[in-house]
Amino acid sequence: MRAFFVLLGISAAGLQLPAADAAFKRDQLTHRKVRAAYHDKAAAVRAAFAAAGVPFPNASLYFRAFKAEKSVELWAPPKKGAPYQLIKSWPICALSGTLGPKRVQGDRQVPEGFYTLDQFNPESNFLLSMRVSYPNKSDRILGDPADPGGLIYIHGNCVTIGCLPMTDDGIAEIYLAALEARTAGQREIPIHIFPAKLDAAGVAALQRNYAADSERLAFWDNLRPGYESFEKTHLPPHVTVAPDGRYLFPD
């Protein structure tokens, strides 16, 4: 991913998220591609929230990505503490690697697990991009100790080396929703990435197709409570990490 990081057109330091205030949005709007996204897509984003009966801007966004289904979902609540509503789903244009977690630099894998969007890049060579917080604590324990890889983004232009590539329309809408959430005070925007929808049919398919891969199946079994928790409550799960790298769901 390091070569791809250079292609994304940002410095090694990246564009770190500032404190929540109007200055963040003002800075973003100094960039031509962000202004163009607002011109082209602000109405569509507002309409998607309105159709779901959810206010916009909204400071409680939650993204879920499914590799087998090649989709990214955006959820948000109508009010604080209320069950989240599906706002919109976008197609993932392409995926490198296979189903399963990322564990080492250069494996071309898209990560699976529980992450946040922790950088905005308005000057990406792939239109717009946001960084996924891989490697997280679990990845650092279970992945290659010397170099688990990194620099994973959700971005436009439908090309990928371990990232989540969207259509240009899709990334513009996703970026605007996240930008407005960050401006409104959401310091952490979760994005949870699964191999597939971990319902009964999805788990059965994984068990059938990866019957000989007990390690991968055990990892997916560990992700499943997080998936099921949201399916039951429509509230993003609280996630921690055990000393052995397993995800824990204390709620």
- Please write the tens of the pLDDT for every residue from 210-227: 999 999 999 999 999 999
Tell me whether residue 155 is one of the annotated catalytic residues. yes
Is pLDDT above 90 for 71?
Answer: yes
2-201: CATH number: 2.40.440.10
d(CA 216, CA 210): 8
List the catalytic residue out of 31, 39, 93, 163. Answer: 163
pLDDT per position as a tens digit, 169-193 = 999 999 999 999 999 999 899 999 9
Report whether pLDDT(86) > 80. yes
* pLDDT above 50 (res 201): yes
Query: Looking at residue 21, what is its pLDDT?
Result: 65
**CA–CA dist 119, 122 (Å, integer):** 10
Residue range 123-140: average pLDDT?
Answer: 96
Q: How confident is the model at residue 205 (pLDDT cuts 50, 70, 90)?
A: very high
Helix (H, G, I), strand (E, B) or coil at 207: helix
Q: pTM here?
A: 0.91
What are the residue ranges spanned by the domains of the chain? 2-201
> Given a cut of 60, is residue 24 above it in pLDDT?
yes
**How far are the Cα atoms of 78, 216, 221 from residue 206, in angstroms, in the given order?**
34, 9, 10
Opening angle at CA 237, ends 218 and 60, nearest 5? 140
User: For residues 10, 178, 167 and 43, what is the CA-based torsion angle, rounded to 10 degrees?
Assistant: -130
DSSP for residue 238 = P
Question: DSSP string spanning 37-62?
Answer: HHHHHHHHHHHHHHHTT--SS-S--E
Nearest partner of 129 among 163, 95, 104, judged by Cα = 163
- Report the pLDDT averaged over residues 236-250: 97
The helix-helix angle for 32-51 and 168-183 (nearest 10°) equals 80
Span 101-105, average pLDDT:
96
Which residues make Cβ contacts (< 8 Å) with residue 88, sequence separation at least 6? 48, 73, 74, 173
> pLDDT of 29-66, one tens digit each?
999 999 999 999 999 999 999 999 999 999 999 999 99
- What was the pLDDT predicted at 16? 46
Q: By the 8 A CB rule, do 59 and 184 touch?
A: yes
- Is-catalytic flag, 93? no
Catalytic residue among 155, 158, 192, 234: 155
| Contact call for residues 133 and 117 (beta carbons, < 8 A) | yes
